[in-house]
Every structure is written in C-alpha cells, then in structure tokens.
Chain A
C-alpha cells in the first residue's frame, strides 16, 4: 500500500498537521507540544533581536532545529506587500537560503483578515524571487485560482478568524476552493478543537495549520495529541468515503428477518 502523504513543492510529508510555535508558556512547553503533535512543518515568526539583553538567551532554533523540522517562516504582522517581502528575504538569509515560506498580508489588526490585493502583489514578487510560497488568504475560490496561477505552492484559506477558535464556518467555500485549484489546500486559522480539524480533513482539505488552538488550550500538550488524532481521523474518514446521508429515512443495522414470534394474544 502506498503511504498517504502530503506533497508540498515536491517534498513529501507524513503528517498533515502543521503547527505554529507562538503563545506557549515557555520553550519546554513549545517543544513538548510540537513533538506530541507529530507535525513536520512548523511556522516561526521573524522579529527584531533584543539588543543589549542576555547574549546567551536560548534561541527558538536551538529547541526546534531546522535539521529536524521544516521551518516555515511567516509574515505575521505585515500589512503591506513590501514589508512581507522584506521579512521573508530576512528569513531566507536567517535560514541559509531556505525558500519555503508562509505569506500572510493582513488587512487590519481587529480582524487579521487577509488583504488579498497586497497578498497577491507580494506573492508575485516572492515567486519571481525564487520563493516557494504557501499563502494564507480568504476562502475565495477566484483568489485561490489567481494565487495558483502565479505560482504559489499551497493555498491556505482561513476557516474563521485567526486565533478565534470559531471552527469551520463556511465548509461550502472551502469545497469551492478545492474544486478550483490543483495545489494543496490547507486550512489555516480558526480551528478551535479536534473535531474542527477532523471536519476540515473530512471535507477533503490536504492539511490543517494551527497555533492558538493548541497553545491556548488548558493543557497544550494533550491538545496537541488530540489534534494529531483529529487530523488523522478526518483524513481516514475522507479516504474511506462516508455513507450517504439519508434524510428522514431510518435503516436498521440488524437483520429484519428471524425475529422471535410475537407473544400471541
């Protein structure tokens, strides 16, 4: 049996769960949660170095080495194409030429909704510059197709607002996106608990990316385990092919013949 793998930019991954590394209590918790999630692709952010502070302060890359994980630098917090492109060029330099990136260009700090005009402009520049772009965007099938046409390697529509935990609010649009594009569709943002991840996978999405749903759980390491199982269960259910829904008509599971005789009157 051939293994069911997620292929992004020609590289195969066994895990369909991608996780972020933000909002954890400390590095030990970050490491434990990510290890438990089984994720192979993990997102990181690029920020100014704390100048003048403890020079021996541990670095995120010490606990999550690029030799073990595929690091996916993001452009979280960028509100213009220009800032996003600069951030990812810095990331590429930081990670010795690593070109797989997560592009997100946000519209406003209240909704963190993607600014698709700036996102498209940044994606064009990055693809031309040799980056492999996984792109966070709205669940708009037309935009998804345009991002595919200019050369992005994965489309990552939101299921609901970043960090909201509201779950899969518009499964119809996610399906429209999947029908429209050939590249992997990875739900990014909005997942709150394991059933949300399973629903995304049952719809046929190729993967799920999450951060807050794990990091903000009461027990992040246990939630990382739940998410791993949720993604796997949802994927298996998708591949197995669910039974059709039969509205207003029950079908017994047990044989209808061979019943013992009713007590005669």
Chain B
C-alpha cells in the first residue's frame, strides 16, 4: 500500500525535442501542436522514431512516455 494517496489527476509525461513536459489529460498530436503554438508553422513530427503524417495529427493520441521530435527546415549546406 502506498504511504500517500494517489495523485488525483492522471498525468502523462511526454518528451518533446528532448525536454520532458507533463499534461494533466491525454491529448492528440493536433492538440499538442495547438498548445505549443506551432499551428502556423511548417513542421514534421516523429513519435518514438516513427513519422506521424500530418493527416493523422487529429487521431494520433499521445501516451505517457512518448518521445517526440518536431522539426523544421533551416539553412544548411
């Protein structure tokens, strides 16, 4: 038995570009992008090493422990 009461909210923790972020409820990739104000940016996204196509952002639900990479185009040679 736990020495303390369980946390009242189900918290999920997601790593986004190497930084861990917690959310108090499950959310979709689309909601995450909205939350991070990336909606008007041209991005691509990988979840646990696999591409999440833009067309699946609304359906793809994020799970506790997911590792996301969010990338953009930058200058390079």
Contacts and interface: CB of A to CB of B under 8 A. Distances in A.
Interface of A: 20-24, 30, 43-49, 51-52, 55-56, 59-61, 71, 73-74, 76, 86, 89-91, 93-95, 162-163, 209-212, 215
Contacts of B46: 86, 89-90
A89 B46 CA distance: 9
A212 B72 CA distance: 21
Given A90-B69, A93-B53, A49 B38 contact: yes
A27 B53 CA distance: 29
B1 interface: no
Given A49-B38, A49-B43, A90-B46, A20 B76 contact: yes
Most chain A Cβ neighbours within 10 Å, of B45, B71, B75 = B75
B19 interface: yes
B41 interface: yes
Contacts of A210: 77
B71 A94 contact: yes
A21 B76 contact: yes
B60 to A, nearest CB: 13
Given A22-B74, A23-B77, A49-B38, 16 more contacts: A21-B76, A22-B76, A30-B75, A45-B74, A46-B72, A47-B71, A48-B70, A49-B71, A51-B38, A52-B36, A71-B73, A90-B44, A90-B46, A94-B42, A94-B72, A212-B77
Contacts of B20: none
B40 to A, nearest CB: 7
Overall SS of chain A's interface? mixed
A20 B77 contact: yes
Contact of B42 (A20, A56, A59, A74): A59
A211 B41 CA distance: 26
Interface of B: 16-19, 36-46, 49, 51, 53-54, 69-77
Contacts of B77: 20-23, 43, 45, 74, 76, 162-163, 209-212, 215
Nearest to A71: B73
Contacts of B37: 55
B57 to A, nearest CB: 11
Nearest to A63: B75
Contacts of A89: 46, 51
B43 A86 contact: no
B49 A86 contact: yes
Contacts of B70: 48-49, 51
Contacts of A61: 42, 73
A86 B37 CA distance: 25
A43 B75 CA distance: 8
Contacts of A73: 73
Contact of A94 (B19, B36, B44, B49): B44
Contacts of B73: 44-46, 59-61, 71, 73, 91, 94-95
A90 B71 contact: yes
A55 B76 contact: no
A22 B76 CA distance: 4
A48 to B, nearest CB: 4
